[in-house]
Amino acid sequence: MTLPQHLVPSLDGVAAGATVTVEGDEAHHAVVVRRLRVGESVLLADGLGRVATGEVARTDKRSFDVTVTAVADHPEPMPRLAVVQALPKGDRGELAVEVLTEIGAARIVPWAATRSVAVWKGERAAKSHAKWAATAREAAKQARRSWHPEVEPLATTTTVAELVAAADLAVVLHEDAEEPLAAIAEPSVGEILLVVGPEGGLTEDEVARFVAAGAVSCRLGSEVLRTSTAGVAAAAALLSRTARWGAGD
């Protein structure tokens, strides 16, 4: 069975034989909720590619020590996957973040689309962003990812257009698009940007702006997926054609 992973702020300079202390909420959940015990083996990750394997040497309610036995540095998976996710209603935003993290998204960008039902403003915006970030963090640990995703600040349509222009390949999911997702060129590029619209769909102006910025408008199939699942379906279809999932060299 894969060892449980715990996130630490940094593993810089850590080598076999070192002791790393895990503190705060991360330690409290591990010791009090998960009942971590001395002698258990765990993984420690900094979210930036470095993972340490070690054995728990000490615990209390707010911290535990790990004696490191091995350290590995993992290259960032390429191509990178960034997903612009229009704000869904209810808790479907956290669902989208969870599955996108599990499948390997490097960046998740919440987007206030024209037809988004949910609205992030003021204190609600801060709380909602914190929920998305916490969901991504926990999903990354569950998936044993060495590189954890970044949840960026709420984006406007103008910001999304700028992200599209900067990407190596940008794909906009649109149910009325003529070109199927499977028809686009093999995505073996530096960064793939995937734009997922809200429950009410993208407006013609949004699609036009993104296409003008360099995006390809594609449809997944004849079915209309929910905004919380469309992104992971498209990401899986794209990643299955890259070296990340065993395709190519």
SS (H, E, C) the chain: CCCCEEECCCCCCCCCCCEEEEEHHHHHHHHHHCCCCCCCEEEEECCECEEEEEEEEEEECCEEEEEEEEEEECCCCCCEEEEEEECCCCCHHHHHHHHHHHHCCCEEEEECCCCCCCCCCHHHHHHHHHHHHHHHHHHHHHCCCCECCEECCCECHHHHHHHHHHCCEEEEECCCCCCEHHHCCCCCCCEEEEEECCCCCCCHHHHHHHHHCCCEEEECCCCCCCHHHHHHHHHHHHHCCCHHHCCCC
Among candidates 151, 189, 144, which has minimal Cα distance to 167?
A: 189
Same domain, 29 and 96: no
Q: What is the pLDDT of residue 95?
A: 96
Same domain, 111 and 27: no
Same domain, 34 and 134: no
Q: What is the pLDDT of residues 105-157, one digit of tens each?
A: 999 999 999 999 889 998 999 999 999 999 999 999 999 999 999 999 999 99
Q: What is the pLDDT of residue 129?
A: 97
Boundary (domain end) residue, out of 44, 73, 102: 73
Q: Most distant CA pair in the chain: distance in Å?
A: 60
Boundary (domain end) residue, out of 20, 47, 73: 73
Same domain, 177 and 97: yes
Same domain, 157 and 92: yes
Where the chain has pLDDT below 50, the residues are 248-249
Q: What is the pLDDT of residue 193?
A: 96
Residue 86 lies in domain: 80-245
Same domain, 40 and 158: no
Q: What is the pLDDT of residue 176?
A: 87
Q: What is the pLDDT of residue 249?
A: 38
Same domain, 238 and 126: yes
- Whose tokens are 């103008």? That residue is 158
- Domain tally, the chain: 2
CATH code of the domain covering residue 14: 2.40.240.20
Q: Are strands 80-86 and 107-111 parallel, antiparallel or unpaired?
A: parallel
Residue 190 and residue 169 in contact, taking contact as beta carbons nearer than 8 Å: no
Q: What is the pLDDT of residue 248?
A: 46
Total number of residues shown for the chain: 249
Same domain, 49 and 69: yes
Same domain, 222 and 122: yes
- Predicted TM-score (pTM) of the model is 0.92
CATH code of the domain covering residue 237: 3.40.1280.10
Q: What is the pLDDT of residue 243?
A: 86
Q: Are strands 80-86 and 41-45 parallel, antiparallel or unpaired?
A: unpaired
Same domain, 56 and 101: no
